[in-house]
Chain A
């Protein structure tokens, strides 16, 4: 099977479709690409048809996220909304030892089978696994994508801390929507989004969210960790956040930036463990410091502002893994997943839902395999592992989560 290249000409003519995972983050990121001359669109189709297309097109033993992402793309192509000669697809590829690096190939096979073999598929990878002349993630784009992640994490963090307590239902979501729009509009005014430019919004955002009228009621705080897609995507986790909110809990979800920093960190760790290219490792070190600094800015301002709880600095998160697991575990979410459980407990969030696709390989080790050790060191930890899968029934999942919540409420 020959790979269809995304050519320079296509950059002008083609719309690039991107599957969704975290709506705020992804919309901001799409906007960055658009400013650099691409035409991107984040997919939002989420019906049962998505799952059906996935089942039809992907080997059923493949992980659930692959099934959803590929199903979403094919469902979009079948919708008739797009000119099929002028559309391309984009998917991420980490290149790690997990099978997720193969999603792109499974997607291509599915397209071939469905008669869409002519549609180019772009690999969004920071290790340069595949090259396309028409699509290049340059350093400026990369840096601006980081800003999008920063802002996405920031808005999500504040939203999670406001939503369960808002006195008028819908206030928080309206605030999130307003800021998302405002940022998108602001981005579009200039090609290059500068850091100094977005930084000046921080305070304003904090003030706005702080102004939402909230109750002082004490609620159960529930952390969510897990495989990145099912952790974040409502499509992947049966609307887990909405369910928790309806059960009267406050949701705490570690940000996407942590995952980015984890990837960079692993690049440095690899050389320490096995030897290898000095330059590559040094470059990773530079990026790592850059990200740490950016995260610190946000933490500092939240702390200074004094209303909301800031995220844990990544440098601390790293050390929190130490009692449990080596930083050498780098496939899938690797040591970060275990570290995030420890981090949540460190923040006082003892109730944790650990999400994964059914049969997720790395999570046998880093999630289910570490729960015992985490509980041993933190007897108050209240952790439940939940598997997601096209056939898993919501009743079963919710019943297990309710058990966790029943135990959580004992402490209130």
Chain B
């Protein structure tokens, strides 16, 4: 009897027909969500081979599940099917790695059978590669070709698509080679598979790689083989790898599938009722055309006058907004009328596009129109400024604010949804009062809708239009892109059409902005005069959704997408220059641009730099986190407590001792407790071996043993430190479990967070190599000195023969003294910097987070970036004792978090001090602290700035945020100055 296996994944349908072991028919095709039709179509193609006799059939795949249920057909889970298929390909396979459209799987077949799938927060799969290809404006095939010509690999956060995008986009804007980015994308997929799926189990032996992406992308294969160091005979890439699930399903069908004829099967598939109860629906955006026309007419009124450049003569001002995905150029008259405008995708190479536009503009201008000033803004601001000798640059938030204010002087709330960013500002007293930007994990923006539109085979404009009159918009919730993919998948399975999905996506972008970014509760909170802008608001479905969600009307300028460029042009005008330095037509025509990537070797951060060289030999370096590679040696050195702390940790020198070596991982709370334990063990006669300050290499060493991919990055780093100590062959590694922290009497209790408190327990169970040494992770309460001495004497007396209570007592005394000294020195250093700022009339920033946020691999050099922006840096623990303990509206029960509230309060008491809060992605406790810190700061008239940090290495967005903060401070101070005068 014939066996038919049907595998319907998230993006493709695979069908195979087998006669015993022989493969008679196979077909692989994208289904564009037309699951039933596509499947039936393929089966009909196979009709000649299948014939009229009954055969065995089963379904598999994430989209096959719903269909099997609806049609009453046998279903087999795809990983299980893969297991069945392996023997078909080869004998002696130890491990199978299978990547699908949106799932990744690993099967360990020998040495303890185990099967795993990626968790919900993981996107390094086929859909991710497609998304990245569209970001680079190439087809997936071209991506593969590009990657084959790579020279270097950039670190790209591999956890999920959104994170990776945050790393890739700035690389693109800085001019990095597409070839290198393409290869880096594949490497990210490899890293994600290894960290997310292997979770501590070694990938060795004979490995079979299955699934579409691993079949089609040769470079991905190469990256896997290289990374896992597999010899050719151990890396199996079967020709039919993309059919593995379908094959396994056919094999399974022979055992327990349905017995049907082709016409019976087709009948079942085609008459299967889609079960729509799974999806929730929303009200249509517009009930009828008339309502839409009225809506359109209202918004058409918000316009800017245009002037014909061919007939105009006089001064003009140029604004360029080089955004993350789009490039915008505007030329205005001295009255603000628009002479020329351009809006388009930057296609991964904004420099070339802007050059073309400038040539066009210069030609149009001729001798009649004189460009008296030019300004650049957006992600590529500096690159463009350097490339074309643009007069000035300004941070994009300020550009948007200028444009909106010109438009409506009374504006009190601006929401800008661009390709990659959501920005909102509240305006009070003519200056920006608070700025909110989206974080990596709430990135539902314009490019998100666009990517979806393309993946369903639509242009964005048509896709948006389809949504306007959708009858049953699907409620897709408001989670991150990865989750959204699954929700859309589900909706499609439930029979939702493109129109319903388009409308649903618009609403989820809006909900994301309101509830995640703005965190507003009602429309009244936003303001009375709301201006919405950014390219995404050209989409009427999004605009309508927004008005509906807030229950009011807003202004969308007809130049919504050009507001950044328009604001930049206004800024250029305000400079009142006599002459612009902008390239002339001749200079533009002789313009060349090459980009080269190098690694900076000046410090431990090893930034991946991109060196852009232009025709006139001018260079522009990007990707740097500090000023050093730029060669500005004479720049003054500003106080930086983060560096000061690192120096102090480095200065702890181990003393050889009679009791031998003991290793301590420099991670999590050790950044603060190290002096304690260092003194303790040194006094006890141990030589304390501390792992070095984290580097990317250290992280890479340990990431294979991380069991939970959603835990915070600081915790993930511990694994590498342990591996380092194991490599040093220290006989003992010490990392205590501390449920309680020191009691600083600042709150209701003094806990550590659950992850910090018990991470050693996790290490013991997941770092297999720990059996090579003695791993000590006792429970201690350092907050009760007397009890600590008692318990520690008991513990160490047992673990090490000859350690007496008297010795422990002495060691503990030394430890507590060392800790107290450390803390008082920290406070003194803080004092010194505050005084320095006062005496020199300079601004300082409290970089507030946890003690371990001084780790350069965790903060990615934000402290140095602050310095380079002219701000001194103080850490939160240095100022948290300068005010009375704060009463807050939450349970204040963690020692380190209590410091944040106090630091925030202290900041409000000083004019030249601001606060920037570092929040590690995944820190559940900061979901509680951030609102409180914000409330304290805002009550005291300060801005609140939160920087979410993770594995993402690129500081592009952080730089914009910090510059916006500085811009806002300047405006606020200027406004204060006026009031006083």
Tell whether A275 is near chain B: CB-to-CB under 8 Å. yes
What separation, in Å, do the CA atoms of A364 and B763 have in the docked complex? Answer: 11
Closest to B782 in A: A274
Q: Which of A369-412 contact B (CB under 8 A)?
A: 369-373, 375, 379, 385, 387, 389-400, 402-403, 405-407
User: Contact between B710 and A101 (Cβ–Cβ < 8 Å)?
Assistant: no
**Complex: A1 Cα to B66 Cα, angstroms:** 50
Provided the pairs A273-B781, A403-B117 are in contact, do residues A391 and B928 lie with their beta carbons within 8 angstroms?
A: no
B29 in the interface (beta carbon within 8 A): no
C-alpha spacing A229/B759, complex, angstroms? 23
Give the chain B neighbours of A394 by CB distance below 8 A.
Answer: 278, 490
Picked from B80, B477, B894, the residue with its CB within 8 Å of the CB of A390 is: B477
CA distance A186 to B606 in the complex (A): 73
Min CB–CB distance A51 → chain B (angstroms): 8
For B475, list chain A residues within 8 Å (CB): 48
Would you call A330 an interface residue if the criterion is a C-beta within 8 Å of the partner chain's C-beta atoms? yes
Interface stretch among B362-370, B495-503, B514-522? B514-522
Contact B707 A369 (CB under 8 A): yes
Q: Are A101 and B893 in contact (CB under 8 A)?
A: yes
Task: Report chain A residues within 8 Å CB of B755.
Answer: 361, 364-365
With known contacts A102-B890, A361-B753, A61–B927 Cβ distance under 8 A:
yes
Chain A neighbourhood of B490, CB < 8 A: 393-395
Residue of A nearest to B111 (CB): A379
A406 vs B249: C-alpha distance in the bound complex, in angstroms? 13
Contact check, A63 vs B924: say whether CB atoms are below 8 A apart: yes
Q: How far is the CA of A405 from the CA of B780 in the complex (A)?
A: 42
Stretch in contact with the other chain, from B389-397, B479-487, B576-584, B863-871: B479-487
| Nearest B residue to A274, CB-CB | B781
Among A139-147, A298-306, A321-329, A342-350, which stretch is in contact with chain B?
Answer: A321-329
- Cβ A395 vs Cβ B112 within 8 A: no
Is B737 in contact with chain A by the CB < 8 A criterion? yes
Residue of A275, A373, A399, A407 near B65 (CB, 8 A) is: A399
Whether A370 contacts B765 by the Cβ 8 Å rule is yes
Query: Which A residue's beta carbon lies closest to that of B480?
Result: A391
A172 on the B face (CB < 8 A):
no
Rounded to whole angstroms, the CA-CA distance of A365 and B707 in the bound complex is: 9
A191 touches B (CB below 8 Å) = no
Q: Is A203 engaged at the interface, CB distance under 8 Å to the other chain?
A: no
Q: How many residues of B contact A (CB 8 A)?
A: 81
How many angstroms from the CA of A104 to the CA of B891 in the assembled complex? 9
What chain B residues lie within 8 Å of A371 (beta carbons)? 707
The reply to whether A369 and B708 contact each other, CB–CB distance below 8 Å, is yes
The stretch that binds A, out of B12-20, B339-347, B783-791, B853-861, is: B783-791
Q: Is the interface of A mostly helix, strand, loop or mixed?
A: helix
Q: Give A73 Cβ to nearest chain B Cβ, in Å.
A: 15
Cβ 8 A contact of A392, one of B76, B200, B483: B483
> Which one of A324, A331, A368, A397 lies within 8 Å of B707 (CB-CB)?
A368
Q: Verify if A57 is at the interface (C-beta below 8 Å from B).
A: yes
Q: Could you tell me if B924 and A360 are in contact, using CB atoms closer than 8 angstroms? A: yes
B708 touches A364 (CB 8 A): yes
Contacts A57-B521, A387-B120 given; does A326 touch B761 at CB 8 Å: yes
Determine whether A231 belongs to the interface, using a CB cutoff of 8 Å to chain B.
Answer: no
Residues 922-938 of B contacting A (Cβ, < 8 Å): 922, 924-928, 930-931
Contact residues in B for A324 (Cβ distance below 8 Å): 765
- Contact string against B for A residues 311-340, beta-carbon threshold 8 Å, 1 for contact and 0 otherwise: 000000000000011101111100000000
Asked if A109 is an interface residue, CB under 8 A from chain B, the answer is yes
Contact at B480–A98, with CB atoms within 8 Å?
A: no
CA distance A57 to B114 in the complex (A): 41
Contact B758 A331 (CB under 8 A): yes
Count residues of A near B (Cβ-Cβ below 8 Å).
Answer: 72
Q: Cβ of A398 and Cβ of B922 under 8 Å apart?
A: no
Residue B403 lies at the interface, judged by CB distance under 8 Å to chain A: no
User: B897 to nearest A CB, angstroms?
Assistant: 10
In the complex formed, the residue of A with least CB distance to B117 is A400
Q: Report chain B residues within 8 Å CB of A361.
A: 753-755, 924-925
Asked if B754 contacts A328 (CB within 8 A), the reply is no
**Any chain A CB within 8 A of the CB of B711?**
yes
* Interface flag for A114 (CB, 8 Å): yes
* Inter-subunit contact B928/A62 (CB<8 Å): yes
B265 vs chain A, min Cβ distance (A)? 22
| CB–CB B761/A365 < 8 A | yes
Q: How long is the Cα–Cα vector from A59 to B930 in the complex, in angstroms?
A: 10
Taken together as a complex, chains A and B put the C-alpha atoms of A260 and B757 apart, in Å, by: 22
A27: CB under 8 A from chain B?
no
Flag A207-231 by CB within 8 Å of B: 1 or 0 each.
0000000000000000000000000
Chain B residues near A292 (CB-CB < 8 A): none
B761–A369 touching, CB < 8 Å:
yes
Q: Which residues of A contact B484 (CB under 8 A)?
A: 391
Tell whether, in the assembled complex, residue A358 and residue B121 are in contact, meaning their CB atoms are under 8 Å apart.
yes
Give the residues in chain B near A105, CB-CB below 8 Å: 889-891, 928
Cross-interface CB contact of B515 among A56, A108, A368, cutoff 8 Å: A56
Interface flag for B163 (CB, 8 Å): no
Q: Let me know if B928 and A395 touch, CB within 8 A.
A: no
* A403 neighbours in B (Cβ, 8 Å): 77, 79-80, 115, 117
Query: Least Cβ distance of B637 to chain A in Å?
Result: 37
Which residues of chain B are near A397, meaning CB under 8 Å?
A: 120
B394-446 CB contacts (< 8 Å) to partner A: 442
B739 touches A113 (CB 8 A): no
Q: Which of B120, B761, B779, B791 contacts A358 (CB 8 A)?
A: B120
Chain A contacts with B in 34-75, Cβ cutoff 8 A: 48, 55-57, 59-63
Q: A101 to B486, alpha carbons, bound, how many Å?
A: 32
- Chain B: minimal CB distance from A121 (Å): 12
The interface residues of chain B lying within 8 Å CB-to-CB of A400 are 117
Smallest beta-carbon distance B808→chain A, Å: 15
A95–B715 Cα distance when bound, in Å, is: 24
**CA distance in complex: A395, B35 (Å):** 15
User: Within 8 Å CB of A368, what residues of B?
Assistant: 707-708
Whether B765 pairs with A328 at a CB distance below 8 angstroms is no
A-chain residues with CB within 8 Å of residue B740 when the two chains form the complex = 274
Task: Report how far A93 CA is from B178 CA in the complex, Å.
Answer: 53
Contacts of A360 in B (CB 8 A): 924
Residues of B within 8 Å of A48, CB to CB, are: 280, 475
CB of B754 within 8 A of CB of A114, answer no
Q: Which of B77, B516, B749, B780 has the most CB of A within 10 A?
A: B77
- Binary contact readout A90-124 vs B (1 if CB under 8 angstroms, 0 otherwise): 00000101110110111011000110000000000
Q: How far is the CA of A382 from the CA of B728 in the complex (A)?
A: 36
Q: Is A134 an interface residue (CB 8 A)?
A: no
Of A56, A59, A332, A364, the residue contacting B710 (CB under 8 A) is A364
Closest chain-B Cβ to A236's Cβ sits at a distance in Å of 15
What are the residues of chain A within 8 A of B762 when measuring CB–CB? 364-365, 369-370
B134 CB within 8 Å of chain A: no
Whether A359 sits at the interface, judged by CB under 8 Å, is: yes
Which residue of B76, B103, B483, B758 is within 8 Å of A365 (Cβ)?
B758
Whole-angstrom distance between the Cβ of B91 and the nearest chain A Cβ: 21
Which of these, A104, A275, A359, contacts B922 with CB under 8 Å?
A: A359
In the bound assembly, the distance between CA atoms of A334 and B80 in angstroms comes to 32
Q: Complex formed: what's the CA distance from A403 to B751 in Å?
A: 39
Instruction: Determine the residue in chain A with the shortest Cβ distance to B740.
Output: A274
Closest to B783 in A: A274
Q: Which residue of A lies closest to B779 (CB)?
A: A328
* Residues of chain B lying within 8 A (CB to CB) of residue A402: 65, 77
For residue A362, CB closer than 8 A to chain B, the reply is yes
How many Å lie between the Cα of A1 and that of B115 in the bound state? 51
Q: Closest 9 interchain pairs by CB? A: A391-B479, A275-B787, A274-B781, A369-B762, A61-B927, A97-B751, A393-B486, A373-B765, A391-B483
What are 13 A-to-B residue pairs whose CB atoms are below 8 Å?
A62-B924, A97-B752, A275-B784, A326-B737, A358-B120, A359-B924, A362-B754, A369-B761, A369-B765, A371-B707, A389-B483, A394-B278, A406-B80
Beyond the given A61-B926, A364-B708, A392-B479, could you list 11 further A-B residue pairs with CB under 8 A, ordered by the A residue number?
A98-B754, A102-B891, A274-B784, A329-B761, A332-B754, A361-B755, A364-B762, A368-B707, A393-B489, A399-B62, A407-B80
